[in-house]
Structure 1
Amino acid sequence: MSIRSLALALVLALAVSGVAFAVSIRVLPGGIPLGSAEQLMAEGIRLGSTQILRQAWEAYEKAVALNPEYLEGYLQLGRIYFHLSLLGGATDEDYRKAFHFADLLMEKAPKVAEAHRLMGVVLSGKGAYLDALQELELALHLDPGDEFVLCDMAAIHLALKQPDQTVSLLEGRSLKDGWSYYILGMAWMQKGEKGRALINFRKAKAAGFAGYWLDLAFQRLGEDLKLPLR
């Protein structure tokens, strides 16, 4: 399945979760964002902006070049690549770099769950879903019950049109991240359960998840139900 197919499977939306979405950043004349790399990444995800995400990429790439032991930088680069792929804005060169960064983190921290999660995220962004699931299962073994890993796995099943597996991974859990509720809502959409989808989209919004992807979900659901939803 292609990156474009993945995006369509998520209703033109896999996030990596774990970042704040309601971020206010200053802008220079002409609307160019000015802020930390973390703010840029969060705002790029919220707005669905490849331009802002690439600015965040450049900042983190410089950071790990200056300090190769800055492990968080590798994680963020993988997340940025993933969101670029969702938006159809990732290139083969982006994948090569993202895989390289994930591989470096695996070498530095082979027994850390986040290292395997990062590799899983990068592979899923490329469309290598089975390999991605293997890495995410290793991450879950190292950190059982990690919501973000479960959500990443659930999103892959969603992309593979396996909503039952997505629901089984997330339904009934005490979820804390809005992206998790969003993915669960998308699974109920695939199953044709629009009421349950709406409940989870609203939970996602209440948990602080907002912006491009949730707006698209409400738009599509509103068209199906013939109701104005936000």
Structure 2
Amino acid sequence: VLIYEMIAGRIPFAGDSVSETFANMINAEPQPLSRFASNVPNELQRIVAKMLRKTKDERYQTMRDLLTDLKNLNEGLSFAEKLERTASPEAENATAIPQATPGDANKETAETQRSFSQKIKNRKWVVALTVFAALIAGAIVFYQNWNLNQPPSVQDLYLQGRFYAVRENRADNDRAIQMLEQAVALDPNHALAHAELARAYGTRYFQFEPHQKQWEEKSHVELEKAFALAPDLPEAHEVRGFLLWMPANRFPHEQAIGAYRRALVLNPNLDEPHQQLGKIYLHIGLLEEALTEFRKSLELNPGNTMARYRIGIVLIHQGKYEEALRSLKSTPPDINPAIVGRDTVWLLISLDRREEAAELLAELIEKNPIDEGGQFASFKALLSALAGNAEQAEREIRDALEKGKGFGHFHHAAYIIACAYAALNKPEEAMRFLQMAAEDGYPCYPLFERDANLDSIRQNPKFQSFLSAQKRQWEYYKSLPQL
């Protein structure tokens, strides 16, 4: 509108009244610039007409596109002007009639004046376009610098927080909480940010600080805020499933599955509910169903690295060790270095590569001396038991138990401790920790049924009774209609 008015001396949709002007803006096309100004370059008329198109997709999509066309036009006019200036007088007179009449002289004078006038007008267009293009370029630079210096928007904070929230390592959890707390402070009505902050708080409680009840309380408060703002928000139902599936709730598998299924009914294109469903199916022994969910998650979002990682874990549970090793090697370890490292150690032990497992375990402990959940201590105990060092294994089991109190994934450590006791030929202790793992969120019948680490207790009547009960429960899970 501005450039049209600069050239034509009037706005493009002017009417005799305000209502007529508005009607013209909606229904009428602007008059051609050539009607109000002479010698307007055709290309400039095209550019202005494109800027005033009523259909958004027909207009310039970015300021850079407009600037490019203006620069091209400006260069074309400048080039034409240079050609005129460099044309020699001899060349102009080469075809002139040697003896001109007075009338011819007057005609030549008029043509010369018109040519000079045209050159002046062209030069004015060059100057005007140069100025206008410079203004556009300056506006772009100003906007870019202004945008870089602005604090991130609420939506940016939410998206960045969500990226870090699903990665399940402490550093990223810290970043997620910081960004999402900023987001809800700036916009208390941002339901998605509240839901994602609930997840971040829940991860802090489940993975890193299980004795700090404040994180559990905060997670539920944020989730309730999300539901109050948007009762049918799919992401809120997804986070509800995540918060349900906790040790404090005794891992209610069916209720958590229901929450994730509800999220997918509301939005079938979400990838994370599939990943979370696969995680639950893995823990209750529905291994093929878990693989299906992880693959659906990756179809929707190839960047869901937790889904990619857990495919490797399913393969371990299925005894497909070489395939599992390839899968784990393709997983970025920084998503959760402790858990990825833990499962790689387990895989190497299963492949009877105990020296490599011990070396990797030493590296992991050096990098993660806290050993959250006693995960590494439990594998140290298993390696010691397999080597026949009972006393060392017992010390490491005690260490694992001390570190694992309240830890969300301690059921995995409990299972490895059961394997260590089986290797030490202590069936009573092995059964105690097997029962603990199954009751604490890890009733994985297919693993119990085939893992060679339990072979020494397979003839034990208590183990056989335990395995029969686990099979019945597994068959019940397979029959659930929501699967």
Q: Which of residues 156, 164, 168 in structure 2 aligns to 1:19?
A: 168
State yes or no: 1:193 paired with 2:353. yes
- What corresponds to 2:333 in structure 1? 175
1:12-56 Cα offsets, whole Å, 9 max, x none, are xxxxx8324599xxxxxxxxxxxx87456434445888x999878
* Counterparts of 2:222 and 2:259, CA distance in 1: 11
Q: What are the within-5 Å matches in structure 2 for residues 49-60 of structure 1?
A: none
- What corresponds to 2:263 in structure 1? 105
52-61 vs 160-169, which moves further: 52-61
* Counterparts of 2:300 and 2:308, CA distance in 1: 13
Q: What are the within-5 Å matches in structure 2 for residues 133-152 of structure 1?
A: 133-144=291-302, 146-152=304-310
- What corresponds to 1:122 in structure 2? 280
* Counterparts of 2:273 and 2:288, CA distance in 1: 17
- What corresponds to 1:214 in structure 2? 376
Following TM superposition, by how much is the alpha carbon of 1:175 offset from its aligned partner in structure 2, in angstroms?
A: 2.2
Cα distance, 1:79–1:171 mapped onto 2, change above 3 Å: farther
186-195 vs 217-226, which moves further: 217-226
Cα distance, 1:162–1:139 mapped onto 2, change above 3 Å: same
Question: TM-score by structure 2 length?
Answer: 0.34
Cα distance, 1:169–1:203 mapped onto 2, change above 3 Å: farther
Q: Tell me the percent identity.
A: 9
1:192-213 Cα offsets, whole Å, 9 max, x none, are 1112223443454426883222
* Counterparts of 1:208 and 1:74, CA distance in 2: 33
Question: TM-score by structure 1 length?
Answer: 0.64
* Counterparts of 1:196 and 1:129, CA distance in 2: 27
Q: Gapped runs of 5+ residues in structure 1?
A: 1-16, 24-35
- What corresponds to 2:241 in structure 1? 77
Would the aligned equivalents of 2:271 and 2:298 in 1 still touch at CA under 8 Å? yes
Would the aligned equivalents of 1:154 and 1:169 in 2 still touch at CA under 8 Å? yes
Cα distance, 1:144–1:199 mapped onto 2, change above 3 Å: farther
Give the match's secondary structure for 1:110. Answer: coil
Give the match's secondary structure for 2:333. Answer: coil
Cα distance, 1:106–1:172 mapped onto 2, change above 3 Å: closer
Following TM superposition, by how much is the alpha carbon of 1:101 offset from its aligned partner in structure 2, in angstroms?
A: 0.9
Larger relative helix fraction? 2
Would the aligned equivalents of 1:78 and 1:122 in 2 still touch at CA under 8 Å? no
Following TM superposition, by how much is the alpha carbon of 1:188 offset from its aligned partner in structure 2, in angstroms?
A: 0.9
* Counterparts of 1:77 and 1:39, CA distance in 2: 14
Would the aligned equivalents of 1:120 and 1:135 in 2 still touch at CA under 8 Å? yes
Task: State the one-letter code of the partner of 1:78.
Answer: F
Task: Tell me how many residue pairs correspond in the alignment.
Answer: 196
Task: State the one-letter code of the partner of 1:134.
Answer: T
170-179 vs 134-143, which moves further: 170-179
Cα distance, 1:134–1:113 mapped onto 2, change above 3 Å: same
* Counterparts of 2:260 and 2:358, CA distance in 1: 35
* Counterparts of 2:309 and 2:370, CA distance in 1: 14
1:164-210 Cα offsets, whole Å, 9 max, x none, are 22211012654212122221221111111112223443454426883
Root-mean-square deviation (CA, aligned residues, Å) is 4.0
